Amino acid sequence: MKYKIIVDSSSNLKSDYIKDKDVGFAVVPLTVRIEEKDFVDNDEADVDEMLDALSKSKKGGASSCPAPGAYSEAYKDAENIIVVTISSKLSGSFNSAFSGSLEFSDKSIHVVDSKGTGGLMQLIVDKAYELIKSGMDFKNVEIEIDKYTESINLLFILDKFDNLVRAGRVSKIAAFVATSLSIKPICIAVKGEIKILKKTRTMKMALKNVVAEMVELIHDDAKNRVCIITTVQKDPTALKLKSIIEDNMHFKEIKIVDSRILGSYYQLPGGLIISF
């Protein structure tokens, strides 16, 4: 196989996302462990079962990234490979993907730190596929993918910060502000780290304000972009957000995608992630 695109499972993509005899595709799973049970984030994983186990657990859970060998195995059947991982500030997946590539001096492997998660990774995958199918040489695909990654944005509204705090992904002070005062903060991914951008008191205000932030970030460039709203357990609030976005911006397309195991574990019910 000449070309292959690989992502980790925080992308929320399944292994059949790209079906093309000329461009392979694979998803390397992360794992969530709750009590004594491992929930491997593969195509068959049951998000409802994981969240139910989490709600019943007194100890909470933990996540683990793929080992370098899991990536190495995925690299074996292609010559030119683009790998997209969750932000290196949130997981060791990027380092594992890079370490796994070192044994393949005969292959061209470019590991992309998405500096985000979820829909942001899906956008990068779609761009990589577009560039590969255009006939562009691999070196220029690398260059263009890195440029594109710097041009896209991730905003989110979280109802709960429990697992992000437990894993050290946001400060306990930020979580205290969000929970103790019933604030719905709008957060942003800044160079791969989670920052609170604005504090609102209701979900209605959070939805309105997050769209205002989107307008500010990309101005009138929406027509050239795709927006992906990531939700947990098909939260109907995603449809409300989609409607508000459509009233204020004109994206090429707006997609609503449900989080898989890893995404749902950190995002938790009530949370929305917006990538554009």
Here the CATH number for the domain that contains residue 241 is 3.30.1180.10
Q: Are residues 116 and 8 in the same domain?
A: yes
Residue 186, domain member (yes or no): yes
Q: Are residues 134 and 216 in the same domain?
A: no
CB 27 within 8 A of CB 100: no
Residue 92, domain member (yes or no): yes
Residue 11, domain member (yes or no): yes
Q: Are residues 191 and 248 in the same domain?
A: yes
Residue 248, domain member (yes or no): yes
> How many domains, the chain?
2
Residue 193, domain member (yes or no): yes
3-class state of residue 179 by DSSP: helix
The predicted pLDDT at position 249 comes to 97
Q: Are residues 143 and 182 in the same domain?
A: no
Host domain of residue 226: 154-275
Q: Are residues 182 and 95 in the same domain?
A: no
Q: Are residues 95 and 210 in the same domain?
A: no
Residue 45, domain member (yes or no): no
Q: Are residues 14 and 98 in the same domain?
A: yes
Which of 120, 150, 180 finishes a domain? 150
| Segments in 152-253 forming alpha helices (H) | 162-166, 172-180, 203-218, 237-248
Please give the average pLDDT of every successive group of 10 residues along the chain, which has 276 residues. Answer: 96 98 97 96 97 93 97 98 96 98 97 97 98 97 98 92 68 61 82 87 94 94 97 97 97 98 95 97
Which of 150, 179, 194 finishes a domain? 150
- Can you say how many angstroms the Cα of residue 114 is from the centroid of all Cα atoms in its chain? 8
Q: Are residues 134 and 256 in the same domain?
A: no
Here the CATH number for the domain that contains residue 121 is 3.40.50.10440
Residue 261, domain member (yes or no): yes
Which of 150, 168, 202 finishes a domain? 150
The predicted pLDDT at position 192 comes to 87
Q: Are residues 254 and 159 in the same domain?
A: yes
Q: Are residues 189 and 101 in the same domain?
A: no
Q: Are residues 159 and 82 in the same domain?
A: no
Residue 49, domain member (yes or no): no
Q: Are residues 24 and 129 in the same domain?
A: yes
- Can you say how many angstroms the Cα of residue 153 is from the centroid of all Cα atoms in its chain? 11
The predicted pLDDT at position 139 comes to 97
The predicted pLDDT at position 201 comes to 86
3-class state of residue 66 by DSSP: coil
Residue 169: CB atoms within 10 Å: 17
The partner residues of 188 in beta bridges, in order of sequence, read: 155, 195
